[in-house]
Structure 1
Amino acid sequence: MIIRFRPSPIVVLCIVTLIWAFSFSLIGVYLSGQVDSYLAVFIRVFLAFLVLLPFFKPHQLPGKQLLALTFIGAVQVGVTYQFLYHAFSYLSVAEVLLFTIFTPLWITLIDEVLLGKRHLPMRWWLGSALAVMGALIIRYQNISADAITGFCLIQAANLCFALGQVAYRRLPIADAKLQVQTFACFFLGATLVSGLGSVLFADWQKVPNNLTEWLVLIWLGLGASGFGYLAWAMASKRVNTGQLASMNNLLIPAGILVNILFWQQSADWPRLLIGGAVIALAVWVCRPQTA
């Protein structure tokens, strides 16, 4: 007897969130300030492209859909990171985290207004707002006086990341095997944009120069990017817009928890627990309704 195990998409999104939470800590501890950010992004998405390339079967999709998938990867990863890393010139890490909490609202807004899907259920809007509120409880800190430029850059990054997620959900590729066979195009787009960013902005004196840095980058490329983005994209097709929007902010409490448990960082436990509970409530509010 063959037992087919297909985990819940929410479980998959939680697993990817945990992987990404570790990735943020690895970047902060082993790469930040030592390896140029543009080069780090280029290396990780290029490795992700290489690991998916053996599965690539372009004849499985029409050329227009392959081009659309390439464009989605270019926007969701490539362009997002260009805005994000520029924002660090104007904001502290805490401010960057604070300003990223608006991603759920961007996802909901794009799906309803920009891409023509009207009248989303009010509970999806409520879930998105709760996800923002929960993340705000966890991450709110005093903001520097000169943060307008940084705020605009982060919102541009949030918009690109949200647009990529919604666009992939609406791409007519439902079969899991077919998604694996074509996802290399996603990272092809990301590689092209991040490669251009490296050429224009990278400090080539800050290349990875020891085994630890390369091992972290390899994990980021193969695990966090290659597996992580593919699993997130596939799971996003099996949840509704409200659930996807809310899950985007789960990374904030997960990232803080990883820092506490593995890198002995201090934490404001009441804010972390209350904010995490509010985000969990947001996902529950957006659950599919049963008859």
Structure 2
Amino acid sequence: MIYLTITTLVWAFSFSLIGVYLSGQVDPYFAVLTRILLATLVFAPLLRPRHLTLRLAGQLMAIGAIQLGVMYVFYYHAFLLLTVPEVLIFTIFTPVYITLFHDLLAGRFNPGYLVSALLAVLGAAIIRYDGLSEQYLVGFLVVQGANLCFAVGQVAYKWLLARQPRPVPQHSVFACFFLGALLVALPAWWWLGGSRYPSTPLHWGILLWLGLVASGLGYYWWNKGATLVNPGALAVMNNALIPAGLVVNLLLWGKAADVPRLLLGALLMSLALWLNERWHARRRQTVPGCA
């Protein structure tokens, strides 16, 4: 749990750094490419091919391409459509996706989880019930794309490492994760990137922090932590980032927000997740071997 907790504290600042200083000022494709390239440089010297098979390397690259590469493309565009608090609130769906994908891999399904997801959607609508613009709705869907990629990557990494014939030193193979993400970020920037490059030392400093620490160390710590906890704990820790990120955004940056409506929407989403956990706990009691 310590790995997930440390990463949560680090990532809590990332939302505001992107939303306040990079969104609309630096091309999102370039920002994504820079973060992933820096993270790759952190772990490339640690790569030890003797701990890899071609199959494992390919699987790690595929997970990195989805969890980091495709997710970042969605994630950065969300800040062009939504405020930082809205992006944070809408990440609350990730635990539901984690539960559903984990059940899919395990070969079981509980329709009750869909009820919790629909309740969470209602909470999201309440946050902006008087301003459901097309941009807002598109932004909501963009965040869900990021959530789904992040959830699939976490669960897939956990399952992959748990099914290796012998323990794998994760730091010695994690460069493959970033190389897979780079295979998405590089062509995305080449084909779709714009001309808004970092123009101040602050821009470059934030990208260095995000690339070396938030992405490089952060994703290693997070995925390593995911292999050490059960799926329920992993789902809960995905939501710990929300209050931490909101505190940073609302207090340190002084960003205005409709706090009562934000809290009401978040309360409904939290109720959805509580119901999700209740169904999950009940299933563990009634289905032998249910994780």
* Global fold match (TM > 0.5): yes
Give the match for residue 217 of structure 2: 227
Change (3 A) 1:117 1:15: farther
Give the match for residue 166 of structure 1: 155
The answer to whether the 8 A contact 1:98-1:136 is kept is no
Which of 129, 132, 136 is the aligned partner of 1:144? 132
1:260-271 maps to which residues of 2 (within 5 A)?
A: 260-266=250-256, 268=259
Give the match for residue 32 of structure 1: 23
The answer to whether the 8 A contact 2:161-2:227 is kept is no
Q: Secondary structure at the match of 1:172?
A: helix
Change (3 A) 1:183 1:136: farther
C-alpha deviations, 1:104-125, integer Å up to 9, x for none? 1111101102x234368x9xx6
The answer to whether the 8 A contact 2:67-2:149 is kept is yes
Which of 199, 207, 211 is the aligned partner of 2:197? 207
Structure 1 Cα separation of the partners of residues 262 and 23 of structure 2: 27
- Structure 2: 5+ residue stretches without partners: 285-291
Give the match for residue 40 of structure 2: 49
The answer to whether the 8 A contact 2:100-2:109 is kept is no
The reply on whether 1:258 has 2:245 as its aligned counterpart is no
C-alpha deviations, 1:32-53, integer Å up to 9, x for none? 2211111011101100000111
Q: How many residues align?
A: 270
Higher relative helix content: 2
Give the match for residue 4 of structure 1: none
Which of 4, 19, 40 is the aligned partner of 1:13? 4
| Segment drifting more, 173-182 vs 249-258 | 173-182
C-alpha RMSD of matched pairs (Å): 3.5
- Structure 1: 5+ residue stretches without partners: 1-8
Give the match for residue 189 of structure 2: 198
Q: Report the Cα offset of residue 96 of structure 1.
A: 3.9
Give the match for residue 183 of structure 1: 174
Q: Secondary structure at the match of 2:106?
A: coil
Q: Report the Cα offset of residue 88 of structure 1.
A: 5.3
Change (3 A) 1:23 1:99: closer
Residue identity (%) = 45
TM-score of the superposition, structure 2-length normalised? 0.78
The reply on whether 1:107 has 2:98 as its aligned counterpart is yes
TM-score of the superposition, structure 1-length normalised? 0.78
